[in-house]
Amino acid sequence: MAPLETGRHGEKEFSPDPSSTPGTNPPRRHTWLWITLVAILIVGAIAFNRARARSQAAAAGPQTRGDAGISVGVMAVQKRDVPYYLTGLGSVTAFNTVTVRSRVDGQLMKVNFTEGQFVHEGDLLAEIDPRPFQVALDQAQGQLAKDVAAQQDAKVNLARYQQLWQEGVIPRQQLDTQQATVGQFDGSIQADKAQIDNAKLQLVYSRITSPISGRVGLRLVDPGNIVHATDPNGMLVITQMQPIAVIFTLPEDNLPEVTAEIGKQRQLGVEAYSRDNRTKIAEGKLLTIDNQIDQSTGTVKLKAIFPNPDNSLWPNQFVNVRLFLNVRKDATAIPAAAIQRGAQGTFVYVVKPGNKAEVRPMQVDFIEGSLAVIREGLAPGEQIVVDGQDKLQNGSDVVPRPVATTPSSASTQGQTQ
């Protein structure tokens, strides 16, 4: 310890130790502050370098993948048999529709049908009071008996007058008059027989029978009412359901194809589908073509007949109709999903040697299901892009991967066999 020195006034002064001065011995807490600051700088530099490395790798990734090419699904252009259908919108029409009316006037006594019932031709539907017609028949028969008796008397007198005339007792004029009387009775008897037949016919008309086989609609007249032959609404409506017809339209441009197939003496098949065009309802045959074209729409009407055994078709029902024309043998076919449309028309992407995508314009003949038949522009065996076309341009590098035939295409082909 340093010695004490005596000051000017005789006081002792303290002399500090040089090693304990602030300039030569900083506190320990300042040292830890510098160590922490350096550590933070080191960690920040490491994090910055790693982030830059990741950014460079992410920027280089797409370029590397782009250099390798765009992955696309491809399929070879096929040569196969494809069914050729024409489609149109149709309406179901009853093959026969009859509004049943009374043919005589009278009181409706009995109804022998229920609404919605299927009836056969000749079934009794209703009965009108037959008593007035039976009375008329009895009167006509009585008049006939009277005229027949009178005719027999006139014939007996004619035979007597002939003998008297031969003996010169009566003049010729009296004989001729008697012969005319016999002829008048012949005419009266024929008129009486006609009256009897008419009365019998009215009696038959009092029993109303079904003129066709079909389904009865709603009853229009209740028992007890007086019906007349001139009633405008009738008593009921019968609709023939089996068979049933469908009237549909096709563009007039398709008419030559249809008439050409009909000219081969073959009956064309027709299929009726639901309004959403997903469910096949029934199968039938083409019956006839209308004799004129509708100028306002440029379409022609066709009529098809369907057996309709399960009553799946109902009158006035809207259906989609497919008319089968023929099978295109060895047609150039591709999936319809491969077709692209642009300002230049329809086209597809063809994968050329070197895995380059090429825009190929082509013309579609028709589309059936998931298959498109190509008229020109493609050759069988060429590889076309069916998946991933939205990423391509003309000349793009691609990485092709084969795609199997869609099941709907196979099923479409199977329907024609």
| CATH code for position 218 | 2.40.50.100
Alpha-carbon Rg for the chain in angstroms: 53
For residue 16, give both structure tokens.
């500090």
Quick: pLDDT tens for 372-414: 999 999 999 999 999 888 888 888 888 988 887 654 443 343 3
- Let me know whether 167 and 214 are in one domain: no
Same-domain status, 245 and 341: no
**Interaxial angle between packed helices 172-205 and 131-166, expressed in degrees from 0 to 180 and rounded to the nearest 10:** 170
Measure the CA–CA gap between 193 and 173, rounded to whole angstroms.
Answer: 31
Counting the structural domains of the chain, the total is 4
Q: What is the CATH number of the domain that holds 137?
A: 1.10.287
Which of 328, 359, 383 is the endpoint of a domain? 328
Predicted pLDDT at 175 = 82
Does 322 reside within a domain? yes
Give the pTM. Answer: 0.66
On whether both 228 and 112 belong to a single domain, the answer is yes
Strand pairing category for 78-94 and 226-227: unpaired
For residues 277 and 384, membership in a common domain is answered with no
Contact call for residues 87 and 321 (beta carbons, < 8 A): yes
* CA dihedral of residues 314, 253, 334, 354 (deg, nearest 10): -160
CB 316 within 8 A of CB 91: yes
Nearest to 182, CA basis, from 151, 225, 221, 228: 151
Is residue 339 located within the same domain as residue 404?
yes
Contacts of 311 (CB under 8 A, 6+ apart): 241, 242
Q: Could you tell me the mean pLDDT of each successive run of 10 residues in the chain, 417 residues long?
A: 42 44 53 77 78 62 56 90 93 94 94 94 95 95 92 86 83 85 88 94 95 94 93 93 95 92 88 92 95 93 95 94 92 91 89 90 89 91 89 87 61 39
pLDDT digit string (tens) for 86-134? 999 999 999 999 999 999 999 999 999 999 999 999 999 999 999 999 9
From 310, 328, 346, the end of a domain falls on 328
Q: Is the residue at 36 inside a domain? A: no
The pLDDT of residue 92: 96
State the residue range of the domain holding 109.
102-128+208-235
Identify whether 114 is part of a domain: yes
Do 370 and 409 touch, CB atoms closer than 8 A? yes
Identify whether residues 256 and 269 lie together within a single domain: yes
172 falls within a domain? yes
| Residues 293 and 411 grouped into a single domain | no
Read off the DSSP letter of residue 16. -
| 297 and 200 within one domain | no
Pairing verdict, β 340-342 and 318-335? unpaired
Structural domain ending residue among the three candidates 328, 347, 376:
328
Query: Does residue 373 sit in the same domain as residue 301?
Result: no
Tell the burial category of 300 from Cβ atoms under 10 Å away from its Cβ (0-12, 13-18, 19+).
Answer: buried
User: Beta 70-76 vs 398-402: how paired, if at all?
Assistant: parallel
| Contact in structure between 154 and 185 (CB atoms under 8 Å) | yes
Residue 371 within a domain: yes
228, 201: one domain: no
Strand ranges, E, within 131-258 = 207-209, 214-216, 226-227, 236-239, 244-251
Q: How far out from the chain centre does Cα 309 lie?
A: 18
23 falls within a domain: no
- CA dist., res. 207 & res. 219, Å (int): 17
Question: Is the four-CA dihedral 388, 389, 392, 397 of positive or negative sign?
Answer: positive
Residue pair 378/348 in contact (Cβ under 8 Å)? The answer is yes
| 215 within a domain of the structure (yes/no) | yes
28 in a structural domain: no
Instruction: Give yes or no: residues 124 and 212 share one domain.
Output: yes
Q: Are residues 336 and 269 in the same domain?
A: no
Q: Which residue has the tokens 């939205």?
A: 390
Please count the CA atoms within 13 angstroms of the CA of 146 that sit on its side-chain side.
9
How far is residue 150's CA from residue 123's CA, in Å, rounded to a whole number? 43
What CATH number does residue 381 fall under?
2.40.420.20
Q: What is the structure's pLDDT at 266?
A: 80
